[in-house]
Amino acid sequence: MKRASLKSGFRIDYIGIALISLGLGSMQIILDKGQRDDWLSSGFIRFFFATMIIGIVAGIFWSCDRRNQSSIYIC
């Protein structure tokens, strides 16, 4: 296995990390506040549910795009 040298650098996919973090953070809010706010009957929970779906799906599609890939391949 080839080791990457520090001189060659490495790329970090900031947009992909941000999208996945948005989705996972929204999921954490849903799981934390869901039972107290009666799950999907609350507009607050529905907003974060939509944000979770959009963030995770967009993050996966962003990571699968060949132009945006860093050294870690998930697709």
1: confidence class by pLDDT, cuts 50, 70, 90: very low
Structural element, H or E, at residue 51: helix 43-64
Q: Token match 């996919």: residue?
A: 13
- In the three-class reduction of DSSP (H, G, I as helix; E, B as strand; rest coil), residue 4 is classed as coil
Separation of alpha carbons 6 and 18, rounded Å = 24
The pair of three-digit structure tokens given for residue 48, joined into one six-digit string: 């974060």
Phi, psi at 46, each rounded to 5°: -65, -40
Across the range 11-28, mean pLDDT stands at 90
Q: Within 13 Å and on the Cβ side, how many CA atoms surround 67?
A: 1
pLDDT digits (tens, 9 = 90+) for 29-57: 999 998 898 888 999 999 999 999 999 99
pTM above 0.85, yes or no: no
Mean pLDDT (the chain, rounded): 82
